[in-house]
Structure 1
Amino acid sequence: MDNRDVVGSWLSGPGEATKDMAGGDFGYRGKRLGLPEEGRGAIAPLGRRFGAIFIDWALCMVIAYGLIARGDQHAAGNWALLVFFVLSALTVSTVGFTPGKRLLGLRVVSENGGRLGAGWALARSVLLCLAVPALIWDRDGRGLHDRLARAVQVRI
């Protein structure tokens, strides 16, 4: 292998390097889970997931600042995290999406495609509030919080 191969594989990303060197073809994100590549039921794109969490966090800040903390900015952040946790746990376990996810056309489902149970939704919400598990992804684009809760975020 000459230097151009090494640089070319680096520029193409780790997936291409793995295909070239180890002969592995992982396919598209969600293939291992039996999900379609595009359209309804496909793995949710990262941009929409970030947008949904931004909408949810903004909603929780408005609730915490306006209704609970009554204008106390220092207390609002702590209350917002608690409101975010409750919002996430309740809405994901009952209807499968938060307000932000619904606005952006996303849903949280179990790995087998059904509704995520209350216990798994609660565990997912705890991990999401810790933030670090949400920043570690697998090759299907699922955050560690989703993987540990046996959940998948898909398009609806």
Structure 2
Amino acid sequence: MDNAEKRQAIGSWLSGPRSAAEDMGVDFGYRGERLGLPETGPGSVAPVGRRIAALVIDWMLCQLIAYGLFADGESQSVALWTMAVFFVMTVLMVGTVGLTPGKRIVRIRVVSERGPRLGFLATVVRTVLLCLLIPAVVFDRDTRGLHDRVARAVEVRI
């Protein structure tokens, strides 16, 4: 193996399997293409940064609510109440209007793969998996977390 081949092998390893496959001519398309969503603009798959920002905003809001209403200043109690408030808020808000306060601020919405709204059971399952955190950080090529795949949901720009 000469030096050029070694550099190419190391470069493909560093850039990741997707980049190496694209260099070989594989076309993955854009995020959301398999779901029939537009590439950009309203209705396209929401970027990961916006989704994380919405989660942080929602978590801080729930932490304030938990601290102010339930926790009596105990740090362990605040953490448990924050999770409970987050769960209830997310199920109620996503199940009815498709978004939470954080999602509204960053202009994204949760919709079903098949229609405008996610059903109640799918919303509960999605929220339980989101609270477990691990399913939320496992992505597919459309950058949907495992919690969204199981619930057949997608977060889109509004």
Q: Given the two structures, how large is their TM-score scaled by the length of structure 1? A: 0.93
- Partner of residue 33, structure 2: 31
Take 1:142 and 1:100, find their aligned partners in 2: how far apart are those partners? 18
Give the alignment partner of residue 146 of structure 1, picking from 145, 148, 154: 148
Structure 1, unmatched stretches of 5+, are none
- Partner of residue 80, structure 1: 82
Take 2:47 and 2:91, find their aligned partners in 1: how far apart are those partners? 22
Take 1:10 and 1:42, find their aligned partners in 2: how far apart are those partners? 30
- Partner of residue 44, structure 1: 46
Take 1:129 and 1:110, find their aligned partners in 2: how far apart are those partners? 19
Instruction: Give the C-alpha shift of residue 2 in structure 1.
Output: 1.6
Instruction: Give the C-alpha shift of residue 120 in structure 1.
Output: 0.3
Q: CA offsets, 1:90-146, max 9 Å, x none?
A: 110100001100010000001124200111001000000011100100010000000
Take 1:71 and 1:33, find their aligned partners in 2: how far apart are those partners? 46
Instruction: Give the C-alpha shift of residue 25 in structure 1.
Output: 1.0
Q: Computing the radius of gyration over CA atoms, which structure comes out larger, 1 or 2?
A: 2
Take 1:19 and 1:46, find their aligned partners in 2: how far apart are those partners? 22
Q: Report SS of the residue matched to 1:18.
A: helix
Give the alignment partner of residue 10 of structure 2, picking from 7, 20, 42: 7
- Partner of residue 71, structure 1: 73
Structure 2, unmatched stretches of 5+, are none
- Partner of residue 128, structure 1: 130
Question: RMSD value over aligned CA atoms?
Answer: 1.4
Q: Report SS of the residue matched to 1:24.
A: coil
Take 1:137 and 1:118, find their aligned partners in 2: how far apart are those partners? 23
Q: Report SS of the residue matched to 2:35.
A: coil
Q: CA offsets, 1:23-47, max 9 Å, x none?
A: 4211111111111111111111111
Aligned residues: 155
Q: Which runs of 4+ in 1 moved over 4 A?
A: none
Instruction: Give the C-alpha shift of residue 11 in structure 1.
Output: 4.3
Kindly indicate whether residue 71 of structure 2 is the aligned counterpart of residue 54 of structure 1. Answer: no
Q: Report SS of the residue matched to 1:32.
A: helix
Q: Report SS of the residue matched to 1:37.
A: coil
